[in-house]
Amino acid sequence: MMGEFSLRLSQLPPYLFKEIELAKTRAIEKGMDLIDLGIGDPDQPTPGHIVRAGEEALKNPVNHHYPTYSGMPEFRQAVASWYKKRFKVELDPETEVLTLIGAKEGIGHTPLAFVNPGDIVLTPSPGYPVYIPATIFAGGIPHLLPLKKENSFLPELETIEEGILKKAKLLFINYPNNPTGATAALDFFSYVVEFAARHSIIVIHDNPYSEIYYDSLSQPSFLEVEGAKEIGIEIHSLSKTYNMTGWRIGMACGNKEILKGLLEIKSNLDSGVFQAIQEAGISALTGPQTCVQEMRDLYQERRDVLVEGLERIGWRIPKPKATFYLWIPVPSNHSSSKFAQFLLEEVGVVVTPGVGFGQYGEGYIRMALTVDKERLKEAVDRIKGLRL
Mean confidence (pLDDT) of the chain: 95
User: For 287-308, what is each residue's pLDDT tens digit?
Assistant: 999 999 999 999 999 999 999 9
Q: Give the domain ranges of the chain.
A: 7-45+290-384, 48-286
- pLDDT tens digits, 308-362: 999 999 998 989 999 999 999 999 889 999 999 999 989 999 999 999 999 999 9
Domains 7-45+290-384 and 48-286 share a fold: no
Regarding beta strands 141-146 and 168-173, do their DSSP bridges make them parallel or antiparallel, or are they unpaired?
unpaired
pLDDT score, position 16:
66
Q: Are 317 and 323 in contact (CB under 8 A)?
A: no
The pLDDT of residue 1 is above 60: no
pTM of the model as a whole: 0.96
Alpha helices in the chain (DSSP H): 7-10, 16-29, 48-59, 73-87, 103-114, 131-137, 162-167, 186-199, 228-231, 256-269, 275-286, 290-312, 336-347, 373-384
Whether residue 277 has pLDDT greater than 80 = yes
What is the mean pLDDT of the segment spanning 27-43? 92
Fold of 48-286: Aspartate Aminotransferase; domain 2 (3.40.640)
pLDDT given at position 20:
75
Is residue 217 helix, strand or coil? coil
What is the per-residue pLDDT for 39? Answer: 84
Query: What pLDDT sits at residue 2?
Result: 62
Q: How would CATH label the architecture of 7-45+290-384?
A: Alpha-Beta Complex (3.90)
β-bridge partners, 122: 143, 171
Q: Which of 15-24, 39-48, 101-110, 274-283 has the lowest mean pLDDT?
A: 15-24
Query: 171-228: per-residue pLDDT in tens?
Result: 999 999 999 999 999 999 999 999 999 999 999 999 999 999 999 999 999 999 999 9
Going from the C-alpha of 168 to that of each of 119, 161, 164, 199, 240, the distances in angstroms are 6, 11, 6, 8, 31
Q: What residue spans of 148-289 are helical by DSSP H?
A: 162-167, 186-199, 228-231, 256-269, 275-286
Q: Is the dihedral of CA 184, 186, 188, 193 positive or negative?
A: positive
What is the 8-class DSSP label of residue 205?
E
